[in-house]
Amino acid sequence: MIGSLSGIVIDCPDPRALAPFYEALLGASRAYEDEEWISLDLGPGLPSLDLQRTDKFHAPDWTSGDPAQQLHLDVQVADFEEGEAAVLAAGATLLEGSEDHPGFRVYADPVGHPFCLVRPRSDS
């Protein structure tokens, strides 16, 4: 092994504006913050979720792929309707066409990063 994953970095126009969304979505707490960077603690043994300021951010378009989606988060929920109500209340948007998939739904965070709410995987 060369190393271990220490953080997942999400580019955004304003880390302080986006942080409350991910704090609510993942139950994260702020471990560090300055004008350009916020690190969110996801819990013991987990990498941080880091929000980095960029002036060149362009939200990916999930349906057309222009600009292309580079990375997204899958967030497991026990109940889609409860999860959806919570993420929409926190500022997410349900993306068109995602309701056609039985195992997941695709949303955008407040600045346009796609993420999925996913059902728990069944071992049966």
Give me the CATH number covering residue 48.
Answer: 3.10.180.10
Task: Report how far residue 37's alpha carbon sits from residue 19's, in angstroms, rounded to the nearest whole number.
Answer: 10
Asked whether the beta carbons of 85 and 77 are under 8 A apart, the reply is no
Q: Is the dihedral of CA 78, 93, 64, 36 positive or negative?
A: negative
Residues 42 and 82 in one domain: no
pLDDT in tens, the chain (124 residues): 665 778 999 999 999 999 999 999 999 999 999 999 999 999 999 999 999 999 988 888 877 778 877 778 889 898 888 999 999 999 999 998 777 777 888 899 999 998 989 987 764 3
What is the residue range of 22's domain?
Answer: 1-55
pTM summary value: 0.79
30 assigned to some structural domain: yes
Task: Report how far residue 21's alpha carbon sits from residue 90's, in angstroms, rounded to the nearest whole number.
Answer: 6
Token pair recorded at residue 119? 């059902």
What values do phi and psi take at 48, rounded to 5? -80, 160
